[in-house]
Amino acid sequence: MRLRNIKGAREMMVESDHTVNEPQANKGRWRKFFGNGNPIHLEIGTGKGNFIMTMAQSHPEISFIGIEKYSSVLLRALEKQQELMLPNVIFIRTEAENIEDIFEEGEIDRIYLNFSDPWPKDRHAKRRLTSKQFLARYDIILKKDGEVEFKTDNRALFDFSVEEAREAGWQLRQITYDLHNSEMNEGNVMTEYEIRFSEQGTPINKFIAFR
Ligand code: SAM
């Protein structure tokens, strides 16, 4: 069964207590929404939610928001949250292209991009979540000393991302072409894709960027 076609997923999403259906209404008010002044970390392309749920569990002092465009994938993350009922994580089913409508300037402390879709055709480059078009959006919603953490198995996408970041004026605080055998691996939380690719022996690339 293709996850994208789970019947009723969109309806379940709307009814869930763990999703925000009109996120634009919270623009500039996300700290109020969580009821504290904690930093807010955003994961874009959350998938089935292993990363964000594990992070939220080990960091109760941080509020986490997961953005995912497909209801049927997000459903898996919601099932995990239904079990754990963590007070510091919520999900938004939307496309990342909308983030400027959802978050105020400087409202976000950190962004995670984990195994983002590679969009291999040149003409689709701007859809890559590390393209300069997306970096410009992150530049707006991230606070001044905020950072973007990016992990991928895809070397071509990683090389593209390093170049886009540098051209857009971002600096790389740390970079590795083999995360699991590097000092950057300390405290690393694996995503579903990361588990799959590393089991196949594919090295994982990671950088942390700031501007
Ligand atoms: N991060 C998860 C992981 O590492 O296991 C999932 C990786 S999967 C390759 C990429 C995910 O990003 C998919 O679930 C996809 O639907 C989502 N995605 C891709 N482009 C997106 C966009 N523009 N806005 C929101 N989600 C997006």
Higher per-residue confidence, 2 vs 91: 91
Ligand 1 atom showing the smallest separation from residue 43 Cα: 1
Q: How far apart are CA 62 and CA 27, in angstroms?
A: 18
CA dihedral 140, 96, 117, 178 (to 10 degrees): 40
In this structure, which amino acid lies at residue 121? K
Q: Would the pLDDT of 87 be above 90?
A: yes
User: Which stretches within the chain are classed as H helix?
Assistant: 9-15, 30-34, 50-58, 71-84, 99-102, 132-141, 155-167, 192-199
Q: Rounded mean pLDDT of 190-196? A: 98
Quick: pLDDT tens for 99-125: 999 999 999 999 999 999 999 999 999
- The best mutation among 42, 55, 94, 129 to test binding of ligand 1, ranked by most ligand atoms within 8 Å of the C-beta, falls on 129
Ligand 1 contact, 16 CB (< 6 A): no
What pTM value is reported for the model?
0.96
Ligand 1 contact, 68 CB (< 6 A): yes
189 burial via Cβ count (<10 Å: 0-12, 13-18, 19+): middle
Quick: pLDDT tens for 32-79: 999 999 999 999 999 999 999 999 999 999 999 999 999 999 999 999
Q: How far apart are CA 65 and CA 86, in angstroms?
A: 12
Predicted local confidence at residue 10, as pLDDT: 77
